[in-house]
Amino acid sequence: MSAKQYIEQLVGVFGHPVAENPTVVLQQAAFHALELPWRYLTIEVYPEDLPSAMAGLKAFNMRGINLTIPHKQQVLDFLDELSPAAQLIGAVNTVINRDGILVGENTDGKGFIRSLTEDAKADVSGKHILILGAGGAARAIAVELALAGAGKITIINRSADRGTDLCRLISDKVKIPAHFIQWEGTAAVPEDADIIVNATSIGLPPDDDLIPDIDFTGIDSSKIVCDVIPAPSTPFLRKAGSRGAYTLDGMGMLVYQGAIGFTLWTGKEAPIEVMHQALLKEFESQDQQDS
């Protein structure tokens, strides 16, 4: 009889602040469902400690790590290889440790597209996509949409430098037409936009009653309106829904980006429904605690 094995395969997330990051819930549910002896750790890492944390990752033979604010760009200094998309985006949210070789990937935009195609049944090819925001999430989404064959991308952002930089990346590197509009006052929605994505942090708790300032009269039933805020609904989506648009929340993006990471780490297909239900349950229990 062979001796019992107590060792667990370790993955997790480095971030600051990270205490409210819910990824542990969906990854742990997936490990449990597939009876894998893996553990996901939520680890507070201050910006100045990232070099030691990455050395620790290797020392502990961790199988990989997620990165969240503020480490997604700084982590590039510690990686051996980058996926083509992560290289274009210039940020990594998932690291895979392949026998000591650290490979960086960005699953945010891929997760968004999977939610758009599988949950909203949308086809992005040739579509005009309006993205509100030009931060990390917007960058990942815009690059992946462009790589997936979007016809045209319009970026509306408050700060011009981030917005123009992202448009230049899309048009110069992925060769998809990209157009920047500076956000001043109420932003008009281009009539021919097919898909509209709120990729700003407007609406993120505790300011979850805030709504991106766009002209909702430009929204109708011909458009799909998406929000990256990871919540079952947002005031932005409710307002767009009341105009007849199909709406897509950010829960699917969160689940799918985690599912892609799960497969990259374990080599196994992720139990999407288990992960989705675990996340929904977590949000419901938080709502009950708050009320």
Task: Give yes or no for residue 108 binding ligand NDP (CB under 6 A).
Answer: yes
Beta-bridge partners for 148: none
Task: Give yes or no for residue 109 binding ligand NDP (CB under 6 A).
Answer: no
Q: Which of 200, 234, 247, 266 binds ligand NDP (CB under 6 A)?
A: 200
Q: Which of 12, 64, 250, 271 binds ligand NDP (CB under 6 A)?
A: 250
Contacts of 165 (CB under 8 A, 6+ apart): 134
Contacts of 243 (CB under 8 A, 6+ apart): 216, 217, 219, 220, 221
Query: Could you tell me the smallest distance in angstroms from the CB atom of residue 128 to ligand NDP?
Result: 20
Task: Give yes or no for residue 155 binding ligand NDP (CB under 6 A).
Answer: no
Task: Give yes or no for residue 257 binding ligand NDP (CB under 6 A).
Answer: yes
Which range touches ligand NDP (CB under 6 A), out of 34-42, 158-166, 167-175, 278-286? 158-166
228 to 247, contacts with ligand NDP by CB under 6 A?
228-230
Rank residues 130 and 254 by Cβ distance to ligand NDP and give the closer one.
254
Q: CA 261, CA 253: separation in Å to the nearest integer?
A: 12
Known active-site residue 72: yes
Rank residues 183 and 236 by Cβ distance to ligand NDP and give the closer one.
183
Concatenating the DSSP letter of every residue in 27-76 gives HHHHHHHTT--EEEEEEE--GGGHHHHHHHHHHTT--EEEE-TT-TTGGG
Vertex 280, ends 144 and 246: CA angle to 5°?
55
Q: Which helix (H) or strand (E) holds 104?
A: strand 101-105
Binding site residues, ligand NDP, CB under 6 A: 108, 111, 133-138, 157-159, 162, 183, 199-202, 204, 228-230, 250, 253-254, 257
